[in-house]
Chains A and B, each alone.
Chain A
Amino acid sequence: MLGEIDNKMFDLKSVSNETKIKLCLDCGKCTVVCPVTRYDQNFNPRLIVQGALRPNSNVPVDENIWACINCNMCMERCNYNVKFTDFIRFLRSKALSEGVEIKYSHCGVPHATMHMMANKDIKQDRLKWLPKDIEVKEQSDTAFFVGCSPYFDVLFKDLGVKSIEGTKGALKLLNHAKIPFTLLPNERCCGRDLLLLGDTEEFLALAQANLDEFNRQNIKEIITACPECYYTLKVDYPKFLKKWRINVRHITEILAPLIENNELALGKLNRKVTYHDPCVLGRYSRIFKQPRSILNSISDLELVEMVDNQEKALCCGANPWAYCGSVNKQIQKERLAQAKATGADILVTACPKCQVHLKCAQKNAENNDVCQIEMQDIFHLAIQSLSSQEVK
């Protein structure tokens, strides 16, 4: 069985069927919208495909396959829905099997942590941040999947990342909406970065460890605030795990309808904000309106849009913790400049990783041409609006 899965993954024919790569018309729309191509002329989605499909090619692995940031902008514009990002993933798997070594960013710490989490016997101690005022059920069918925020706060402390505040905000909002949930003390990373880099074996180990954990606690539904965890658990896990029967919802999908039906009210916050659509929440999961309706329900809050928003939103410019370079930095710089142009005080995002990457660009700016805008998680902002009201 193991062999079958491996063969399917490395079989060019089945991959081209699945990704519809041969439907490519060579129209070049993907290249026009690709943010990587804008800063690196050598990166050309069509040429990568042509090179990979060339029969009996014994050419060395195309270095450019690592530059793709999986922002899905190409698929957004493709008339034939060619899944270029999935095809890139296949090429990366193939390259890894040929012994190519990945150049990790952040000293490889995120990947080392993920690999260690894949260990079956590990017993994590990851809920120390949990404040006492958040009500968590000991037993419940519904679990809140925290994701890697506790790790990010340790790893990127020097960048001033406080992604756990976003998680706390999300949990407080669930409490506010009176939705019961439990937390899992030993959940693993969802493994999305490993999957994107083509490391399917480790990804499966993490996925299986997570499934075991959910089964042990009898979890029927998962709520998560992290877009990457949401997409991976909802779309990728069912593809790889045949026994996956768990319903996955993003917290905005729960809160936005409640707000629209006036069943949930948020407070007041006098700030001007702009919302950055994370690629995985927006283009991948098609959740555009819900975060905006949460922001719009905060009274006195002014929401302004960046030039590129919703389907056209520019990515935060980062690879799955690998091959980060000047191109990525320039994309981040451009996104921050777009945020600055709106005149907003705060750049709000729903993804902890977008925050990490954009803050990294702000910190590593060699001169002052990178906008130093304040960044906040949408759930942290929403809960702030409630607490500021209580004080008044």
Chain B
Amino acid sequence: MNPEIIVFSCNWDGWSCIETAINTGLKYPSSVKIVKVNCLSRIHTGLILQALDLGADGVMLLGCETGKCHFDTNNDCIAKEYEKVQNILELLGMNKDRVILVRLPAFNGRTFIKKLTSLIDTVKQISNSDRNRENNIRHSVKNTVA
């Protein structure tokens, strides 16, 4: 079974890569869900952690190359947030490679698929999955009360 991947993609160069991939007939598994946002600066640590918390096995942040943001006043918030997420995942003892930041030039569908496949492979290798979280909580609550 393929791992659940969430791709947060920016509306501009990032999205163009996904569109190109689809238009040129490249394929990715249906377990990959794409969330389009106006700019990657919209994405913060809370959203990434919540994606993982709610059962995603990996998260890809797909955006424009540094300095090529569509918006004039881009202060590259995502770099700071990405660093924060990595540090928190490290503290939590989860593999940092579950979350990757990918910056691509426009219309680069092939590289997008390549990066996505490598993320799926990495996530598959990380054996300790958090999938059973829901059951774990129920189980522990039952123990507590008993």
Partner of A122, one of B84, B90, B94, B143: B94
Number of B residues contacting the other chain (C-beta, 8 Å)? 31
Q: For chain B, residues 87 to 146, give those with C-beta under 8 angstroms from any C-beta of chain A.
A: 87-88, 90-94, 128, 130, 132-133, 136-137, 139-146
The answer to whether A113 and B92 touch (CB under 8 A), given A119-B136, A155-B84, is yes
Partner of B93, one of A4, A122, A205, A208: A122
With a cutoff of 8 Å between Cβ atoms, the chain B residues found around residue A117 in the complex are: 92
- Are B93 and A104 within 8 A (Cβ)? no
The answer to whether A125 and B49 touch (CB under 8 A), given A119-B133, A151-B88, A158-B80, is no
The answer to whether A106 and B144 touch (CB under 8 A), given A113-B92, A155-B84, is no
With a cutoff of 8 Å between Cβ atoms, the chain A residues found around residue B136 in the complex are: 118-121, 205
Q: Is A234 an interface residue (CB 8 A)?
A: no
- Are B93 and A120 within 8 A (Cβ)? no
With a cutoff of 8 Å between Cβ atoms, the chain B residues found around residue A109 in the complex are: 44-46, 49, 84, 88
Q: Is B53 an interface residue (CB 8 A)?
A: yes
- Are B91 and A125 within 8 A (Cβ)? yes
Q: Is A115 an interface residue (CB 8 A)?
A: yes
A230 to B136, CA, bound (A): 26
With a cutoff of 8 Å between Cβ atoms, the chain B residues found around residue A157 in the complex are: 84
Residue of B nearest to A156 (CB): B84
Q: Is A59 an interface residue (CB 8 A)?
A: no
Q: How far is the CB of B115 from chain A (nearest CB, A)?
A: 25
A201 to B144, CA, bound (A): 11
Q: Is A150 an interface residue (CB 8 A)?
A: yes
Q: Is B47 an interface residue (CB 8 A)?
A: yes
A2 to B139, CA, bound (A): 11
Q: Is A116 an interface residue (CB 8 A)?
A: yes
The answer to whether A154 and B84 touch (CB under 8 A), given A106-B46, A122-B94, is yes
Partner of A121, one of B53, B91, B130: B130
- Are A119 and B80 within 8 A (Cβ)? no
Q: How far is the CB of A11 from chain B (nearest CB, A)?
A: 16
Q: Is A235 an interface residue (CB 8 A)?
A: no
Number of A residues contacting the other chain (C-beta, 8 Å)? 40
With a cutoff of 8 Å between Cβ atoms, the chain A residues found around residue B144 in the complex are: 204, 207-208, 240-241
With a cutoff of 8 Å between Cβ atoms, the chain A residues found around residue B84 in the complex are: 109, 154-155, 157
Q: Is B6 an interface residue (CB 8 A)?
A: no
A108 to B50, CA, bound (A): 8
Q: For chain A, residues 186 to 230, give those with C-beta under 8 angstroms from any C-beta of chain B.
A: 186, 201-202, 204-205, 207-209
- Are B50 and A112 within 8 A (Cβ)? yes
CB 8 Å contact bits of A233-244 with B (1 = contact, 0 = none): 000000011000
Q: Is A392 an interface residue (CB 8 A)?
A: no
Q: How far is the CB of A338 from chain B (nearest CB, A)?
A: 32
Q: Is B64 an interface residue (CB 8 A)?
A: no
Q: How far is the CB of A209 from chain B (nearest CB, A)?
A: 7
A158 to B81, CA, bound (A): 11
Q: How far is the CB of A59 from chain B (nearest CB, A)?
A: 31
- Are B88 and A107 within 8 A (Cβ)? no
The answer to whether A124 and B52 touch (CB under 8 A), given A2-B145, A107-B47, A158-B80, is no
Q: Is A1 an interface residue (CB 8 A)?
A: yes
- Are A113 and B49 within 8 A (Cβ)? yes
Partner of B91, one of A108, A115, A126, A204: A126
A120 to B90, CA, bound (A): 17
Give the interface centre of A5, A119, A186 by most chain B CB atoms within 10 Å. Answer: A119
A186 to B94, CA, bound (A): 13
- Are A204 and B141 within 8 A (Cβ)? yes
Q: How far is the CB of A14 from chain B (nearest CB, A)?
A: 16
- Are A155 and B88 within 8 A (Cβ)? yes
Residue of A nearest to B52 (CB): A116
- Are A104 and B46 within 8 A (Cβ)? yes
The answer to whether A201 and B141 touch (CB under 8 A), given A106-B46, A109-B46, is yes
Residue of B nearest to A117 (CB): B92
With a cutoff of 8 Å between Cβ atoms, the chain A residues found around residue B133 in the complex are: 118-119
With a cutoff of 8 Å between Cβ atoms, the chain A residues found around residue B94 in the complex are: 116, 122
CB 8 Å contact bits of B17-60 with A (1 = contact, 0 = none): 00000000000000000000000000011110110110000000
With a cutoff of 8 Å between Cβ atoms, the chain A residues found around residue B142 in the complex are: 1-2
- Are A204 and B140 within 8 A (Cβ)? yes
Q: Is A123 an interface residue (CB 8 A)?
A: yes
Give the interface centre of B90, B136, B141, B142 by most chain A CB atoms within 10 Å. Answer: B141
- Are A154 and B137 within 8 A (Cβ)? no
Known A108-B50, A109-B49, A202-B137; further 6 A-B contacts with Cβ < 8 A: A113-B88, A120-B139, A122-B94, A128-B90, A158-B80, A208-B143
A-B contact pairs, 10 of them (CB 8 A): A1-B142, A108-B49, A109-B49, A109-B84, A118-B136, A121-B136, A124-B91, A128-B90, A154-B91, A205-B136
9 tightest A-B CB contacts, nearest first: A107-B46, A112-B49, A108-B46, A120-B136, A154-B87, A123-B93, A208-B140, A1-B145, A107-B44
